[in-house]
Structure 1
Amino acid sequence: MCRQKGKFRRATTVHHLKHLRDVPELALTDSNLISLCSECHEIVHPEKHKRKKGYENMERW
């Protein structure tokens, strides 16, 4: 994804094009894998990288 934007960053994450929960048999299939930098992976999966702001509730153990 970086290269498509003319940028070059170190790829640190392997991304499954088809989600593992849907097709676990493709977990290690090369055609289902791409390498992404952490910023691009956050773009593809924003739900996995939400930054928590404070606590979920008022109780602090």
Structure 2
Amino acid sequence: MRISMGADNPYASDALEDYLKAKKNANNYLKSCGLNFTIVRLGSFNDEEGTGKIQLKERKNK
């Protein structure tokens, strides 16, 4: 599973490192608790008008 993309490697972003570490810890806890879950990871933002649509992708486990 991969702003929240990047939670797999929080050290790659100095500006977001603390947030990404916390997100990684929360994701790991969720994975270990035995519940069914979906982790939604934000991609990127821009200043363009919204379309009302989203794009979903499934990450293949390594």
Please state which band the TM-score falls in when normalised by the shorter chain. Answer: under 0.3
Greater strand fraction, Structure 1 or Structure 2:
1
TM value normalised by structure 1: 0.22
Q: Which has the higher contact order (CA 8 A, sep 6+)?
A: 2
Structure whose alpha-carbon radius of gyration is higher: 1
TM-score normalised by L of structure 2:
0.22
